[in-house]
Structure 1
């Protein structure tokens, strides 16, 4: 499935309070490679940004006045994301705005045009529980330079997130590739490698390994004043 890493900027925090999109951008990934294909649109929201939002993205009302309203670019957005897995950091925020803009002008919700929506923030929290997982923290964790990121911008943020996403998910790729070193590997119709578990090597414990395991269980039983669960399951207690 095509992947689109997407980001938006808005006039405020909630479309239910009348806030609107001011910028949307996305970059395309195919076969875990950035293709260079991207979408970047400024839109005229027809209103001022809240001071807090303006401090984040720096897109003034005067600057945005030269761009079309969002209803004139919705078809362009649909064409770019249609059928793709769309990856968004804190997806509920962006999709709520996009759905609101789409339905306001008689379209089906934005999410209905996507193959699926993946929240990279949820993925990062599962991978790094208890740690900061905003975009700046993830860039630092994965060694991705964001020194040029003074203000938030949808295109820059989507490019950084794409690099972060590829880094966060690289372990999955490496695991599959480690099982897939021969020319006789088959691929399915999607072009992805088909995993053949029958080709995994079987490694047996040596006598030294077994002796060390036995000593560990005996020590555990002595410490707990009861047989180790392993021995109980094996019927050796």
Structure 2
């Protein structure tokens, strides 16, 4: 296991646009709620109060959701990355792929569990999905956490993973596959993950959408021991994990 004394990297806020929009919408509801107390004439004051209370409740809900998402990005996702990695049962000498690695949250945690192995991360580096999503940031996080020699970061699309058949002992992915909107392309991603796995290699995917589709696709690809775990509420929205292995 990794040395608990490592310096933490910087892994950003997940879905920053969603967090921003929730906060802005909440502030808008609060402003409109306050205004509603003053715009109605006295005989309709009860209506203004009712509208104001509804808008204030909406503000509280939106505020809680946005704060939950921030907590998820700063605390919850660290707990879930360890649970995800537990499913692939690393010995320490494996070659591992993190598909859609982002700033390296799972990739670097995996590298910390390795001794003679190596962790590879691929991504197309969308800042819409994660703030500050750049390969240089991922490499810097690996350096800061002391695992740079066990991490390699590449440009790569999950739909065409740039590695040969049977290259990896383990493949993981966290909050990445759902960003591909087309069902057939998501199935293609699962096919690529299975292709680059060695026989007996393990696969684990964490996501909040389409997890049952992932499990069905893996079974169609003749993966063994495919199971869905969760939901887990350490992240918002709640996430599930699908895990299996290549026969």
Q: TM-score range by the shorter chain?
A: under 0.3
Question: What TM-score results when the alignment is normalised by the length of structure 2?
Answer: 0.22
- Between Structure 1 and Structure 2, whose CA radius of gyration is higher? 1
Question: What TM-score results when the alignment is normalised by the length of structure 1?
Answer: 0.23
